[in-house]
Structures are given as C-alpha cells and as structure tokens.
Amino acid sequence: MKILGIDPGLRTTGFGVIHKQGNTLSYIASGTIKTPDGDLPSRLKVILASVGEVVKSYAPDCAAIEKVFVNVNPQSTLLLGQARGAAICALVAADLAVAEYTALQVKQAVAGHGRAQKAQVQEMVARLLKLPGLPGSDAADALGVAICHAHGGGVLSDLGALAPALARKGIRMRGGRLVG
C-alpha cells in the first residue's frame, strides 16, 4: 500500500510518500510545495494544483493529513485551515480516502511520545525509513503523518475522534492508561 502524508501550511506544505508491505515501511518520495507571496486565493490554488500533481505522480492508495491545532493567533489558525482545506480537496478530487491525525498522534507514532521536538521527529523518520540523511522539517512531518497512518491506520484516527467525548466525561489519558 502506498500512503501519501501531508503536512499543510500556507507558505510551505510538506508531502511524503511511503510504501507499506506487511510491517515494512519504505521511502518513495518527499518534498515541499512552496506558495509565492500574494493573495490568499492564488496561494490556495497553488496548493490545490500541486497536491493534485503529487497524487498523479505517485498514485498513492490513500492519504493522511495533519489536523489543524489552535494557535495563539486565531488569524493564523484560519489561514492554516484554509491551506489544509485546499490540500484535502485535491485528495478527495482524486478519490483518495483521507485520514486525519493530530500532531500529538503523529509524534507518538514516530518518536514514541507526544512532546517530541521537530529534530527528534526528523531523526526518527530518517531511522524508520532508513534514509541516508535527515529530510527537511516539513517533509519529515509529512512522512511522519504517513508513518502514523501506516502504524495505526483507522485505529488512531478513531481514538482521536473519541477524545473530546471522553474528555467531556472526565476521562483522561495518564501514563498510557485511561483514568476517570
């Protein structure tokens, strides 16, 4: 199975393609999509078209994308959400199933803990995929999203969707266990 991971961003969107066969992961490609300075609609058009080109070039079987986190600046969060929306539109236009993962889920799947630094994620991505060097941070994040999907698939996505409901009931995760 070929998995396309996307790390959305308005200035730089990372992408990574991996192959999963059994429990073995192998690297296919990664890179970044950079948008030129300019108005928002033209930048979103670049993301939409470029993600579509990545899909055409590598023909993935499925895709995974990082969920938006809430920044201190609401305007930044809205812009990131629009970039993410453009990427998702390109993926669903290509008839790909799209899974969504939080940064915490990705870091846990790749580095073993949710508070991993970017450098730790880059290092672990390079190790897991047996890369000769470290990928750029945006490409590493995208490869991490793909690895997260390969490791957990729908299970991590389902758990992420359940988290808000569990939190409303006073149930939290502590030391890898659910506590109420």
- 143: CB partners within 8 A, 6+ apart: 5, 16, 18, 27, 30, 125, 129, 135
Decide if 10 contacts 80 (C-beta within 8 A).
yes
Binding residues: 7, 66, 138
123-134 mean pLDDT: 96
Has 66 been annotated as catalytic? Answer: yes
> How far is it, in rounded angstroms, from Cα 154 to Cα 166?
18
Q: pLDDT tier at 174 (50, 70, 90 boundaries)?
A: low
Residue ranges with strand state E in 96-174: 98-101, 172-174
- CA atoms of 8 and 139, how far apart (whole Å): 10
Is the pLDDT score of 162 beyond 80?
no
In this predicted structure, the answer to whether residue 77 has a pLDDT above a threshold of 70 is yes
The amino acid that residue 179 corresponds to is V
Q: Which of 49-58, 89-98, 162-171 has the lowest mean pLDDT?
A: 162-171
pTM of the model: 0.83
- The average confidence (pLDDT) of the chain is 89
| Options 7, 53, 100, 123, the catalytic residue | 7
In this prediction, residue 88 has a pLDDT band, given cuts at 50, 70 and 90, of very high
Domains of the chain as residue ranges with CATH: 2-179 (3.30.420.10)
Give catalytic status of residue 138 as yes or no. Answer: yes
Task: Tell me which of 95, 138, 141, 158 is the catalytic residue.
Answer: 138
Annotated binding site for Mg(2+): 7, 66, 138
Q: What is the distance between the alpha carbons of residues 24 and 3, in angstroms, rounded to a whole number?
A: 13
Is-catalytic flag, 7? yes
Q: Which of 37, 39, 61, 66 is catalytic?
A: 66
